[in-house]
Structures are given as C-alpha cells and as structure tokens.
Amino acid sequence: MQSPLRTRAWIDVRAPALRRNFRRVAEAMGPDPWVLPMVKADAYGLGAPEVVRVLRAEGPAGWGVATVEEGVALRQGGASEPIVVFTPALPADFERVAAHDLEVAVSDPRLLDRLSAVGRACGRPVGVHLEVDTGMGRAGVRPEQLDALAGALRPLRESDGLRWVGMFTHLHSADEAGGPGVGAQLEGLRSAARALEPPPSVRVHAANSAGAFRLGAEAGGARPGIFLYGGRVGPDQPEPEAVVAVRARVVRVVDAAPGATLGYGATHRADGPERWATLAIGYGDGLPRVLGNRGEALIAGRRVPIIGRVSMDVTVVNISGVPGVEAGNAATLVGRDGGEELLLDEVAEAAGTISYEILTGLAPRLPRIWTEAE
C-alpha cells in the first residue's frame, strides 16, 4: 500500500489494472476493435491526463469527453488522437471545436450547415458523429425523423467544411441481465445507417462498457468508461479489476467510555467500552455522508464499521477488537487491504448509488497517486 506520509487522505490508482481492463474490452470487440475510452469528468475522477498517458500505447481510437472545455484541455495537454465531444453540440461551441480540432456529436442535422461554414472558415473540416436516438431519449435524431431531415443531412456527404466520421447510439439497459431493448436499439442504429448509407469510412458505434461485453463486434465500436475504471457492468458480465483504492490516515485513537457519544447529532453512543479511530476523510472528500452508521472501512486487513455521522473532514470507525491501530496508520474506504476488499460497487450500493457517482464525486483535495506496481 502506498503511504505518502504527508498525505492525509488519497487515492491509489493502479495503471496496470486500467490497462488490463482496456484490453478486456478490446478483446470483447473482436479481431479489429475500435475502442474509444471515455475520459469525461476527468476520466470519472481518476485524472484524464494520466488515463490518456497510460492508455495511449494500447491503440485507442481516440478519447471521448462530455464538454468542449474538457476536449480543449486534453488537446492543450498534448493529446494528438481524435477527441470526440459527446454532449450535443451548440452553435456557441463551433468555433472552439474547429480551432482545437475536436470532433462533435450532432443531434440536430439543421446545425450542420453552420458547423460546415465554421470548418471552412478555419480551413479544417470538422469531424462529425451523428447521434441516433434509439430510446435513451436525451440526445440524437429520432430514426423516424431521418427521412424528413434528408436535406439537412446533405452537408455530411457534400460539404468540404465537414468530415463525417461516425454514427452512434447510446444503450440504456445493457447492464441489465437479459439486456431489454439492447437488440432493438442496435437494430434502430442499423436501420438508420441503412437509410443514410454512410461511406465505409464512417464508424457505426453502439457500445458503452456493458454493451461491449453484450454485443462484441456486432456493436461496431465501443466507448467504454466505467469498466476501465473498475466499475461492474452487470451481474452476468465479466468483472473488471479494481483500479482505485481510497485511503485515509488514522489521526486519533481513543478508548471510549460506556455512554460516550460520537459525532453530530450524537447518533452513536458507546454500549460498553469501545475503541474508536478517527479517519482523516469525510464528505468534503467525496465519502458519501449516507455511509454514517452504515458503511465500513478496512484497518489492518479487517472490516470495521463506520460509526456516527460522516463529517466534512473526518469519519470515525469502531476498532474495538482490532489490536495495534495507531495514529498514522492507513485505513481503506474503497479497495483492498490484506485479505479483505471493499469493492467499489459494494460501497456504492451501501450509499444507495452507483460506482460512477462515487468515482466522479471524489474531491480534488484527494491526491491521485498513480502506480505501476502490481
């Protein structure tokens, strides 16, 4: 376990596990995989520049981001691969998109003429991925609208201000066993492709992480996020390797007398003699407050309960019966310690949420400590 002594609380990030998770997605996608890692929201909180550095040698098709700002930051950080902005493009973004050589997801074909004009003015055609709404309902063109929009779609083929690079849809239920609607969504994308007859250079891509394992090469291409970062993608699907561990130092150990109270609201009271350890991590670091009196931590390879409410900066665990714990020791809130492990998804479930929200909620004040060590 990494233990930078001056660090109060931190996140260990394992580069080899990230790499192997990428390879498993790529293998699922068949002999000629097209895999575009999603590095939006700072790569789900792990740190987009580091994820890009680690995965670059694996041959990604490019990088997926949510916003133009994220794309510009990656480009300025030196990424030379394609960068696709997936939140539907707005005209106010077009100039920055073109200036930084970003590709955009387009939901409204009526904007293509304007995007094309900006591409021409910049002297560089803008790469476009046409999104098809097959049931996610938050973005994309409805397949049944495509005929009516045929005229508006013409710039995709004919304008020198645009490059048509992709057509895609986003699956809503690929993580559920039986995957209701996955087949129908894929068929919706395919029928849109039949209607539009894109040239062979246009990549038709349907899969998120879960879809990559459910559909494989059938999906045409994958845009994985959560699986790369260690989140599960469904009860009947392969399990990712853990990539992150959230750690915090013990900053105080105390023997609590029977009846002693703990934390805001005094929601915990020592039944008998108890030993408590204060951990230097709280909801201000992204540890969900709802884990108070409910979640667990690992100390000295043992599971111990979180007692009392989680505070902004500290959380207390009951270490009665765990010998030898002292200030300066490291505790684990997510991840492995010795023979015990708190899975990311297990912590998310205890907090009533999903792995995505736990990861993206981890606050900037936790340093991300990347390691090549196994």
Ligand X SMILES: *Cc1c(COP(=O)(O)O)cnc(C)c1O
Binding to ligand X in span 289-318, by CB under 6 A: none
Q: Considering beta carbons, is residue 207 or 317 the nearer one to ligand X? A: 207
What secondary structure does DSSP assign to 325-371, as a single string? --TT-EEEEEEEETTEEE-HHHHHHHTTS-HHHHHHHS-TTS-EEEE
What number of chain residues touch ligand X (CB under 6 A)? 10
Q: Considering beta carbons, is residue 86 or 370 the nearer one to ligand X? A: 86
Segment near ligand X (CB under 6 A), from 224-232, 261-269, 301-309, 320-328?
Answer: 224-232
Left, alpha or beta for 318 (phi > 0: left; psi -120 to 50: alpha)?
Answer: beta
Could you give the residue ranges of the DSSP H alpha helices within 90-159?
Answer: 94-99, 112-122, 150-158
Segment near ligand X (CB under 6 A), from 115-123, 222-230, 240-248, 360-368?
Answer: 222-230
Residue 38 marked in a binding site: no
Identify the burial level of 205 via C-beta atoms within 10 angstroms of its C-beta, where 0-12 means exposed, 13-18 middle and 19 or more buried: buried
- 44 labelled catalytic: no
Q: Which of 143, 155, 221, 224 is in the footprint of ligand X by CB under 6 A?
A: 224
Distance CA 79, CA 319 (A): 46
Distance CA 319, CA 77 (A): 44
Under rule CB under 6 A, residue 38 binds ligand X? yes
Q: Which of 14, 170, 172, 247 is in the footprint of ligand X by CB under 6 A?
A: 170
Backbone phi, psi, residue 64, to 5°: -105, 130
Distance CA 88, CA 71 (A): 14
Interior CA angle at 205 toward 123 and 150, to 5°?
Answer: 60
Q: Considering beta carbons, is residue 28 or 316 the nearer one to ligand X? A: 28
**Which x/- pattern, by CB under 6 A, does the window 119-158 give for ligand X?**
----------------------------------------
Segment near ligand X (CB under 6 A), from 176-184, 195-203, 217-225, 313-321?
Answer: 217-225
Are 261 and 268 contacting, i.e. CB atoms less than 8 angstroms apart? yes
Distance CA 41, CA 224 (A): 14
Q: Considering beta carbons, is residue 67 or 320 the nearer one to ligand X? A: 67
Residue 312 marked in a binding site: yes
Q: Which of 86, 276, 283, 370 is in the footprint of ligand X by CB under 6 A?
A: 86
Distance CA 309, CA 267 (A): 7
Binding to ligand X in span 177-216, by CB under 6 A: 208-209
Provide the binding-site residues for ligand X, judged by CB under 6 A: 38, 40, 86, 170, 208-209, 223-226
Q: Which residues are known binding-site members for substrate?
A: 138, 312
Residues designated as active site: 40, 264
